[in-house]
Amino acid sequence: MDHRSLIFASVFPVPSLSHSTPTPIATPDLGYTAPGQSFGSPYGGNTGGQHRAVNRNIAWSTATRFLTLSRSSLGASFDALRYQRTAEIEEALQYLLVGEGKSEDGHEEDLVDWYTNEARVHFATQVRSRLIEPWKKEIELRHSWEVLRETQELLLQVQKSYLDPFNQHILPFIQRANRASTIRPTSSADQEEDGEANNVSRRFRRDVHAIFAHSLPPQRYSKTLSYILYDSGCRIFSVYLRHDGVKPDSTPENVRAFRQRMIALLRGLDQVGLGGDIAQKAFAHAMDKLIDSFIVSHYTKVDWFTKKSIVPHLRMFMRDGFCAFVELVLECLRCYPSSVQPAELASWQEMALGRLGRVRVENLFDFVINWDKSLGAFLDIKEYLKVAGAKQHLTSSFSQQISRRLLHAGATTTYILNVYISIIRAFHELEPKGVLLERVARPIRRYLKEREDTARIIITSLLTDINDEAGSKFLSSGELSFEIATEMQKPFANFNQDADEELNWNDLNWQPLPTDASPDYKKSKVEDVVWFLLTLWEREDFINELKNILGDHLLRCEDPEYEKEIRLLELIKVRLGDDKLQACEVMLRDVLDSKRINAAIRASSAPSRVTDPRLPQTPENAAPRTPRPRRGTANTPSSVPRLRSSAQPTLNAQILSSFFWPLLREDHFLVPAQIQTLQNDYEARFERIKGMRKLRWMNALGDGSVTLELEDRTEEFDHLTPWQVSTIYAFQPQPGEEWASKTRSRGKGKEKESSIARNVSQLEEMLEMDEQLVRQALAFWVGQSVLRESASDTFEVIERATPANIDTEAAAAAQEIAEVQAAQQAGAVRSQADLLAEKKDVYMSFIFGMLTNQGNLPVQRILMMMRMMVQGGFPFGDEEVKGLLGEMEGESKVICVGGEVWGIRR
């Protein structure tokens, strides 16, 4: 033995060092027989007890030689290796076990203890090396069953070789002695008689089992047994997604035969003492993994068709399947109690529900995207929320999913809004009180408020008719949200909520706020998606944005009744109140009154109307023509034919109250003379109707339709901007260009005279139009193959559409450029950026003067002072103020002195 083992043996005796060997045969010293005393037997006692030690030594030698375990053949029958038990051996065993030689004071070694030590020495010298050979290295999973079975069979064989001598030659003497001491045997007395014998037998088995259990590496054995139990559960319950990665066999397995195999192995392990606490811990670990694997294998799928929860089926499995399996294993391991108690069943069902809920929460974002097909998954999560700590886990996990998969620059605002609407609907089903929705939606609402196009997309989508087109405009990458447009089609009741709902004494269904609600929690009685969208901003900010977007929409609308616009205003009134929507109502009334005014003016000019049926005109008995898109206060021609001086254009106008409308674009340019004449006539008639009220024409907001008569074709164009109409009209012959209206004979050998050409500078001068608008209009007509660029910045009319005259690639490129430019100039309402750029110098001068007079100031103080002191107000935020300060810093006028504090550069 090494030094460490010797130190240990000095405190705790090692059996191989302390075990006593059988006493050698020697002539006993019996002394002399007293006069008159008979010659006694070697085991006969005397009153003085002088021969007890000698007698015990002789009996001890006889008994221990007989009970010594063989060192040669393991597992052979005990009686086959020894001579038969003689009377002398029986007398020696009886003397040591129940006679005078029995150890009573604890100073003499007991024969049972000696035999226990004999078994321990025999196991250490003959069995242990063979037993631990396969356990010296990590057990491979595919060999676990084989190794554990071989170990169990070996220990069972060794245990039999130890128990047979004990049960045949030691235990019967103790049992007979107990029965002999009973005077009147009864059924209860029989149990007491066998009590001591059972205790001795139980103690010997316990010691043998302890030898077996401590000979195996505990962690490695526990891991192997845990895998055996886990593998058994997976095969019995047909689990195909396992922690160990083992794939099930392609052929169906005989579950009944495998179940019997598991039972035989577990019972064999329990017989050799390898059950107990170690087996129960391994079993608990295996069942923990089995529940996870079973849920992942059978319950992660969502019922997309019936949309039902699978929690009832999971509870049924835990009651009828899992508990039955647990009781079977506990019975094989002889654990007490072997039946599952109701409290344990409820605990396991809650644990399984928690596992299922965590699996569902990990994929919650995908379920939101697929709402409402994923209703079954949300019903599962709804049950999961009853588990302690589930709400906090759901909130933190889903917030991380949102940050990772939604709130980033790669997601369009339309997509974020669609997902947000799905979250509102799904979480209303999940928790009607709205506490969870308020928690998870907070970062989404904050992110949407930071995007510039959020309000425009929301309001534009609310005003969009989903029945107009079949789909392309509602793409997730587009500017319209189908989900928001769908909400407008739903009937709505009175969703108005009091300013302080806690003081609404008339609410008979009042309930207190949830205990886990945050201070900013706002209770919504119903699932009102529009209400959540409209409350993204403060009321004042939203109404200002609404006024700008609604104004641009009203100037484009083609619906003569403005039904969707009226519905939207009513919807907003119901949710936000009608005290701030006066300007929007005036705007809507303006466009409705414009129809009546147009009809009255046309009626007053009816006698002088041209009645040529070939000319475009309004029928006598027809309703007023609905304004086309982009038709504002500007009057634009509905027909500008070329080379037909007798044609008369028509004019409709929209009369806007400038005080209530947002700032509109006022691009100045000349319209065709015929349109100017119609404008003057319209204005004169309007003054007579409205009591000398004046009109100010805003030509840039109009909308026109023209018919172009070329040499070989006639083309019609609708929805044109006024500058496009004015630009193409400028290519008609002017005074001195009458030659261009004459064409030569088209016979063979004849040629056509050159068409009129204009360059950009000439058009700017003729139309008094900005160069940007001129180039945009020219690009549009080049893209329509009406004009072509004959030289740099010089364009001429394509009178004959021949392949030689039309450059297809140039026309396509020009068309693309025109579309891009038109998109940039599409808005009739001036944007905030345009307003800021227009008054930037005024604002910068004010900031410079304020910092000069008052010293260093923070951004918030500068913003507050500008909103109070700037004439006309300052309708911008701190970001715009920071931008102005940044430009001033670039010009070396101001400097940032720390944080958000700014001062004059000295």
Query: What DSSP line would sit under 489-551, residue for residue?
Result: HS--------SSGGG-TT-TT--PPPTT--TT----SS--HHHHHHTTS-HHHHHHHHHHHHH
H or E stretch at 902: strand 901-904
Tens digits of residue pLDDT in 791-848: 888 888 888 777 655 666 666 666 676 665 555 555 556 566 767 777 888 888 888 8
H or E stretch at 60: helix 52-67
Q: What residues contact 466, with CB distance under 8 A and at least 6 apart?
A: 474, 482, 485, 486, 489
pLDDT at 743: 46
pLDDT score of 588 more than 90:
no
| 553 neighbors 565 (Cβ within 8 angstroms) | yes
Looking at the DSSP assignment, which residues form a beta bridge with residue 703? none
pLDDT score of 666 more than 80:
no
Please give the single-letter amino acid code of residue 858: P
- CA 628, CA 555: separation in Å to the nearest integer? 8
| 81 neighbors 73 (Cβ within 8 angstroms) | yes
pLDDT score of 80 more than 70:
no
- CA 868, CA 863: separation in Å to the nearest integer? 9
* Tokens at 354, concatenated: 């928690």
Lowest mean pLDDT among 511-525, 682-696, 726-740, 866-880: 511-525
HSE-CB at 599 with a 13 A cutoff on CA atoms is: 13
Average pLDDT over every residue of 714-735? 82
DSSP string, 175-203: HHHHHHT-SS--HHHHHHHHHHHHHHHHH
Rg (CA), the chain: 51
* Most confident stretch, 69-78, 309-318, 673-682, 821-830: 309-318
pLDDT at 514: 66
pLDDT at 632: 35
Query: Looking at residue 706, what DSSP letter applies?
Result: E
Place of tokens 């108690």: 341
pLDDT score of 649 more than 90:
no
pLDDT at 316: 92
* Most confident stretch, 280-284, 403-407, 548-552: 403-407
* Tokens at 228, concatenated: 């055996």
pLDDT at 419: 92
pLDDT at 740: 55
Backbone dihedral region of 276: left (phi > 0), alpha (psi from -120 to 50 degrees) or beta? left
Higher pLDDT residue, 37 or 773? Answer: 773
pLDDT score of 96 more than 60:
yes
pLDDT score of 633 more than 50:
no
- Report domain extents, the chain: 1-14+54-68+84-179+197-216, 219-340, 357-494+515-591, 673-733+755-824, 832-904
pLDDT band for position 608 (50/70/90)? very low
Place of tokens 């391991």: 333
Average pLDDT over every residue of 345-355? 91
pLDDT at 574: 72
Tens digits of residue pLDDT in 751-772: 444 577 888 888 888 888 888 8
Tens digits of residue pLDDT in 10-57: 566 555 444 555 554 444 454 544 555 443 444 444 444 557 788 888
Q: pTM of the full predicted structure?
A: 0.68
pLDDT band for position 623 (50/70/90)? very low
pLDDT at 423: 92
pLDDT at 368: 92
Please give the single-letter amino acid code of residue 111: L
pLDDT band for position 660 (50/70/90)? confident
User: What average pLDDT does the chain have?
Assistant: 76
The CATH code belonging to domain 673-733+755-824 is: 3.30.230.130
- CA 276, CA 252: separation in Å to the nearest integer? 33
The CATH code belonging to domain 832-904 is: 1.10.10.10
Please give the single-letter amino acid code of residue 874: F
* Tokens at 792, concatenated: 């740099």
Tens digits of residue pLDDT in 248-283: 666 666 788 888 888 888 888 888 888 877 888 888
Higher pLDDT residue, 634 or 366? Answer: 366
DSSP string, 439-469: HHHHHHHHHHHHSTTHHHHHHHHHT--TTSS
* Tokens at 662, concatenated: 């947002």
Higher pLDDT residue, 655 or 444? Answer: 444
* Tokens at 471, concatenated: 């789909």
Find, among 273, 222, 346, the residue nearest to 230 by Cα.
Answer: 222
Lowest mean pLDDT among 666-670, 736-740, 901-905: 736-740
Q: What residues contact 868, with CB distance under 8 A and at least 6 apart?
A: none
* Tokens at 128, concatenated: 């242990």
For the sheet containing 857-858, what is the strand order?
A: 857-858, 901-904, 894-898
Judged by DSSP in three states, 638 sits in coil
| 637 neighbors 674 (Cβ within 8 angstroms) | yes
Backbone angles phi, psi at 905, to 5 degrees: -75, 125
pLDDT at 78: 45
Place of tokens 């068309």: 815
Distances (CA, A) of 298 to 237, 295, 773: 10, 5, 65
Average pLDDT over every residue of 166-194? 66
Question: What count of residues does the chain have?
Answer: 906
Higher pLDDT residue, 508 or 681? Answer: 681
pLDDT score of 726 more than 70:
yes
Distances (CA, A) of 820 to 21, 506, 824: 107, 56, 6
% of the chain with per-residue pLDDT over 90: 6
* Tokens at 202, concatenated: 């139980």
% of the chain with per-residue pLDDT over 70: 73
DSSP string, 266-308: HHHHHHTT--HHHHHHHHHHHHHHHHHHHHHHHTSS--TTT--
pLDDT band for position 400 (50/70/90)? very high
* Tokens at 516, concatenated: 């886990």
Tens digits of residue pLDDT in 467-513: 654 444 555 556 788 888 887 777 655 444 444 455 566 666 666 66
pLDDT at 367: 92
